[in-house]
Amino acid sequence: MNMQEKIQHALQQLQPSTLQVEDESHMHSRGQETHYKAIIVSEAFAGLGKVKRHQLVYQTLAELMPQFHALALHTYTDNEWAAAEGAPASPKCRGGSLHDLGKTK
């Protein structure tokens, strides 16, 4: 099972009505299976603000989080998703990280 599939499988715990996980690693310079975008529509987010929603997702993915570099989250309830015109597009990578410069922290 690749990382995208592992993320999808773990996020099923949130009982999403819609779940899309995209591997966006090709848009970045850190290699394969490093950058992901997740669109999660779940009533588990009802009554939660953006930070709490993201914390819930991070908690759900706790074992996997150290295995990839970045995760763009777009979290919605069913009503919010119905009113939305889709999730925003991911920005293009501008580089400039210490990794891109051959340095580490």
User: Which pLDDT value is given to residue 102?
Assistant: 52
User: Which pLDDT value is given to residue 68?
Assistant: 84
User: Which pLDDT value is given to residue 31?
Assistant: 61
In a domain, 92, yes or no: no
User: Which pLDDT value is given to residue 93?
Assistant: 62
Provide the H-helix boundaries in 15-101. Answer: 50-60, 78-83
In a domain, 105, yes or no: no
pLDDT tens digits along 30-77? 567 678 899 999 999 999 999 999 999 999 999 999 888 788 999 999
How many domains is the chain partitioned into structurally? 1
User: Which pLDDT value is given to residue 88?
Assistant: 77
> Apex CA 32: angle with CA 104 and CA 96, to 5°?
40
Query: Structural domain of residue 19, as residue ranges?
Result: 3-83
